[in-house]
Amino acid sequence: MAAERIISTPGSPQTQDEPAPAEAAGATAADGARAALRRRRVGVLFAVAFCAYLIDLVSKLTVVAKLEGRSPIRIVSDVVTLQVIRNPGAAFGMGQTMTVVFTLIAAAVIVVIWRISRRLYSLPWAIALGLLLGGALGNLTDRLFRAPGVFRGHVVDFISVQHFAVFNLADSAIVCGGILVVLLSFRGSNPDGSTHQQSAARSTAQPAEPAEPTQPTQPTEAAELSEPSAKTD
């Protein structure tokens, strides 16, 4: 008698590998936990940014109302004093003829941080980016709303360190955030929680070549459904 061989066609129940219900539920739970973690990290980023921005804004409003036009106030002898200076340049008084350029750079930094936040899972990176975002927003507010005009506003600086520079709390937040970013990079940490080694391993790994899809053929006569009977003597 002929030994029949069943040939299944693509899409048939015999060829479909459906994931087990337990595996599908586990994958869904893992994805949900990862999404919740990202939301918490983004929340930390915006909380740090809001605090840095609010402290900078309140400090500038206070010193402008209380100290502008008055003699410097000594904090640590003549080494650290408080005096209001309107700065058209970047942090620490650099680039005073490029006000509009620095305004655009601050806006670009905010956009970049927003894009990074979409794959943010690291707490230290959330704090670092929050400091950068809060500082950039603080100085950008001055650029937009202070004299002499929009995009050309002068930033309020008021912390003077002898033989160094005059700066504000937004500058301090930017510097602290930048230092933290450098330290995290040297340690091999990425915003998504992975390390540089893991990222390099993923990029160099050769993915398995997918099987070429075959066009389903129309079944012919019984030749495709069974083998011919073996003749016996």
Q: What are phi and psi of 211, to 5 degrees?
A: -65, 140
Residue with token string 């707490």:
123
Amino acid at 2: A
Give SS3 for 4.
Answer: strand
Q: How many CB atoms lie within 10 A of CB 198?
A: 13
Q: Which residues pair with 86 in a beta bridge?
A: 156
The DSSP code for 3 is -
- Angle, vertex CA 111, rays to CA 110 and CA 115, nearest 5: 115
**Residues annotated as catalytic (active site), given as ranges:** 157, 171
User: CB–CB of 100/91 below 8 Å?
Assistant: no
